[in-house]
Amino acid sequence: MDVRKAIQIRRSIRAYESRDVEEDKLERVLESGRLSPSAGNRQERRFVIVRDAKTRKALSEAAKNQSFVAQAPVVIAACSVESDYIMACGQPAYSIDTAIAVDHMTLQAVEEGLGTCWIGAFDEKKVKEILNIPGSVRVVQLLALGYPSAIPRPTSRKSLDEIVMREKWRI
C-alpha cells in the first residue's frame, strides 16, 4: 500500500477484535516510530507496550474510562525522556517529536491491517503509576492498537482552500 492510500483509509478505531497482534506486525509498527525524525536527532521518545488485560483495564480507567482502551489487545504509552529542549521556533520538541513517531506508527499499522486510536484524554499521573514510569518522563499519548471490529465512516475535512494560504496569511 502506498502512503497516500494509508492516509486516506486511516480511521480512529474504537472497537477491536479480541485476537492478538502478531509480534512481527507490532515490531514493524514500533520500527516505524523508531525511524521517525526528531528535533536535533535527540530521539527522546520511548514506548511502553502493554498487552496484559488487567493493565489495559487500569489504563482505560486512567483514560477517562474509555472502555475501548481495555478492549484493544495492545496499548502503547508514548513517552519522552526529555522535556526541556525548546526548538529555535520556541516550541518544546518532546511532544512534537513523540507525535511524529506515533503518526508514523499509525500509518504502518494501516499497512499491517491494524487499527489505532490516539488517546490524549488520560490522567498522566495515573498512567505513570500503573506503568511504573519515572516522574521525570512525560507520557505524551496512549495508542490503542489491534484488529478493527468496526471501521467508522470517514469524517469530514476542510477543503485545501479553507486551510492553505499562499505567500502570506489572509484574513
In the chain, where are the structural domains located?
Answer: 3-163
- Range 3-163 classified under CATH 3.40.109.10: yes
Rounded to two decimals, what is the model's pTM?
0.95
* C-beta separation of 139 from 128 below 8 A: yes
Q: Who's near 110: CB < 8 A, 6+ residues apart?
A: 1, 6, 9, 10
Task: Output the pLDDT for position 170.
Answer: 87
Task: Render pLDDT for 48-98 as a digit per residue (tens, 0 to 9).
Answer: 999 999 999 999 999 999 999 999 999 999 999 999 999 999 999 999 999
Please report which confidence band the pLDDT of residue 169 belongs to, taking 50, 70 and 90 as the band edges: very high
Residue with cell 519522552: 80
Query: How far are the Cα atoms of 22, 50, 155 from residue 26, in angstroms, in the given order?
Result: 6, 11, 27
Task: Output the pLDDT for position 171.
Answer: 79
